[in-house]
Amino acid sequence: MAGRLIVVSNRIPTGDPSGGLVVALHDALLARGGTWIGADPDPSEEGRDRLHDLGNVPYQKRAFRLSAAERANYYSGYANSVLWPVCHRRTDLVEIRSEYRADYLAVNLRLARLIAKELGPQDVIWVHDYHFLPLATMLRSLGVTNRIGFFLHIPFPNITDLDVLPRPKDFARWLAGYNLVGLQTRRDVARAFEMFRADPRAEFLRDGTVKFEENIVSVASFPIGIDSEQIEGIAARADTGPFGAADPRELIIGADRLDYSKGLPQKFEAFGRLLQGRIDPQARPTLLQIASPSRADVAAYQQITSELQAISGRINGRYSELDWQPLRFVHRSVDRERLIGLMRRAEVGLVTPLADGMNLVAKEFVAAQDPEDPGVLVLSRFAGAAEDMKGALLINPHDLDETAGAVELALAMPLAERKCRFEDCLQVVRDSRISVWTDRYLARLASCVPTLSLAPRA
């Protein structure tokens, strides 16, 4: 595909790329040349009318700046207090404020103008995530006919939840400005089609694309993955024993951003059930939950933190022994190698989101296992990863007894079954590896019906 690649994402990595998606996008940009555009980590409010060079790689890194009010309204507000809860089925947590929507649109329009100024005729734009839903319609309104792709990393909302948005019909119109809308799972695609089917402005064409007023948009699933080979390598040489004398015999690990979508209270309560129902009083399972701090300026995140502290205090108060603390709630980030080492050491990976686009922790846990003595993945059926990972023990995280039962089963599982399930999961993880994901998405975008002309918009 000729033309440079323009990647737009909220976070722009500085320093050496690490982490699957960042490396994959970095590689795609290295291969084709182009620009990575994202929000400036520098909090300066100066120069919001231009993109700032973050430089230092063979492709360009350029940043747009936000005012403090825009950070509050566009990022913490509309993106993380409206769109995030709507897409994660938590409409009870949505906070509607007119300034949130106004700044969300203003930031996207400013960014569209900055991008349009620099765009070559063959350039291809790849927009990432819910921070930039309206970017394509705004670029189109400025006369841009380049191919523009979008990938939604989080779940596609239920159609009824969209009604909570201030202008529910915007959602379909915004998405229809793209040539390709990539979603995590087939279930997400079904939800997007349901939305378009219910919209009189949309018409399904025979090739499966959707004609929406003057635009034609393709919608397809591209389950995101990890750099499995890299994690397998790190895990094979990782330090798995940071516990010293307190090395737990049965280790259950959880690693999540501290987010209400991750089902952490349910995970803790299910572990409490497991302790309560223990038949063998000598069994001393330990749940190590490492939760990286996230979005601490949003009230819902402060509440969930207090809730988790209270539940872990209650469970430990009830079950701890002099030499055993059953629940270890570590509220911080740990470095990647250490985390992968802990995953390899654990007998069980417990991943319990109530809604999750994909959940990379589930895939990382699998890739980190020792093939000769693998641990077992217990996975929420509401994680995108569950759609293909049939070797995991799938659970409904709302059902505490089911989760507790699955963890018990996992702890007692014979080696032959563990290996069989692990091999199944590892195949899925390898097949969806991140480099393949990038190539598949960009090839599909290149084959989409181009936007030939632009009709004036209301």
Residues that bind ligand ADP (CB under 6 A): 255-257, 290-292, 333-334, 339, 358-361, 364
Closest CA to 142 of 111, 175, 112: 112
Secondary structure class of 411 (helix, strand, coil): helix
**356 flagged as catalytic:** yes
Where would I find the H helices in 221-348? Answer: 228-237, 264-276, 299-319, 336-345
- Measured from the CB atom, the residue of 177 and 353 that comes closer to ligand ADP is 353
| 286 in Cβ contact with 328 (< 8 Å) | yes
**153 flagged as catalytic:** yes
The residues that bridge with 376 in the sheet, in sequence order, are 348
| 291 in Cβ contact with 258 (< 8 Å) | yes
**Which H or E run contains 349?**
strand 348-351
Q: How far apart are the first and last CA of the chain?
A: 33
- Measured from the CB atom, the residue of 73 and 359 that comes closer to ligand ADP is 359
Alpha carbons 320 and 146: distance in angstroms, whole number: 61
Question: How many CB atoms are located within 10 Å of the residue 102 CB?
Answer: 14
**Could you say which of 128, 153, 161, 259 is catalytic?**
153
Q: How far is the CB of 365 from ligand ADP (least distance, A)?
A: 9
Alpha carbons 343 and 291: distance in angstroms, whole number: 14
Where would I find the H helices in 179-263? Answer: 186-197, 228-237
Q: Which residues of 416-427 are buried (b: 16+ CB within 10 A; e: fewer)?
A: eebbebbebbbe
Residues in CB range of 331: below 8 A, 6 or more apart: 258, 291, 293, 305, 308
| 65 in Cβ contact with 53 (< 8 Å) | no
- Residue located via tokens 């940043």: 63
Which two tokens mark 29? 């940009």
Alpha carbons 365 and 348: distance in angstroms, whole number: 9
Closest CA to 400 of 225, 275, 235, 217: 275
Q: Could you tell me if residue 359 is left (phi over 0), alpha (psi between -120 and 50 degrees) or otherwise beta?
A: left
Instruction: Point out the residues that are catalytic.
Output: 153, 356
